[in-house]
Amino acid sequence: MSDVVRIFIGSSANGEDADIETVYEHSIRKNCSKHAEITWMRQTNDTNSVWNGWTTENWSTPFSGFRWAIPEMCNFEGRAIYTDVDMINYRDMNELLNVEMNGKPIAARRGSRFGGHEFCVMVFDCEEMEKHLISVSRQKTLPAIHHRYINRFSGDEETVQDLDPRWNCLDGESRPLNDIWQLHFTKMSTQPWRPEWFTGIIEKHPRQDIVDEFYRALEEAKEAGLDPEVRRQE
């Protein structure tokens, strides 16, 4: 069992998600029983970065396809967690990393949006994933690769182990806050921090307690010394 919890988080460039990044990082570190090694996956002009040079025009977010690079970035060794950025954590991520996978390469919750599973929180068995993926250098050149993998894995019981849905609770669903392990602000139009890259119609979140929780968690993170303004200027 590793002493490090490897977590890869898909986020936007240019500080557009700085507020939720601040909230999410603080919540992860507050609850994690081991060292959380966080890798932020953001588009970049740095040609030496693996997150540079991807063909992204078919992606629904600025980071959609990056998750499929994670096993190779881990040298196809051990386990790693992927999540989107738009979350607040309430439970030890080390528990998620060590969830029972029954020999399958992926763990994710059941859901209807993508044909069977929700891949916004995933655990990878990196070694087992090697046989299912093409190289990252090739992935970068294929605009449809993200959707190909979604279609390949979602709903496939041979490759995906079901996670407890509390690890990826979509906008709170019908659960009280004290029964959520990982809160996911999944609907971009209702996210209270208003990411600039989202150009759709802004809507009211259906649960005011969820919105209030974001602002409470943001103040807590700031009091702990994390400053979203610093992130915006990086």
Q: Picking from 67-81, 84-98, 164-178, 193-207, which range would have the lowest pLDDT averaged per residue?
A: 193-207
Record the tokens describing residue 142, joined without a space. 């294929």
Four-CA torsion 128, 60, 53, 37, nearest 10 degrees:
-50
Q: What is the pLDDT of residues 197-231, one digit of tens each?
A: 788 899 999 999 999 999 999 999 999 999 998 88
User: How far apart are the C-alpha atoms of 130 and 94, rounded to whole Å?
Assistant: 23
Record the tokens describing residue 10, joined without a space. 């898909």
User: How far apart are the C-alpha atoms of 6 and 8, rounded to whole Å?
Assistant: 7
Q: What is the pLDDT of residues 108-163, one digit of tens each?
A: 999 877 679 999 999 999 999 999 999 999 999 999 999 999 999 999 999 999 99
Closest CA relative to residue 147, chosen from 114, 108, 125, 124: 114
User: How far apart are the C-alpha atoms of 108 and 134, rounded to whole Å?
Assistant: 21
Helix, strand counts (H, E) of the chain: 8, 9
- pTM (two decimals): 0.96
Record the tokens describing residue 190, joined without a space. 């209702």
pLDDT at site 232: 84
Q: At what angle do helices 18-31 and 208-223 cross, to 10 degrees?
A: 80
pLDDT confidence band for 1 (50 / 70 / 90):
low
Q: What is the pLDDT of residues 45-70, one digit of tens each?
A: 999 999 999 999 999 888 999 999 99
Is pLDDT above 90 for 33?
yes
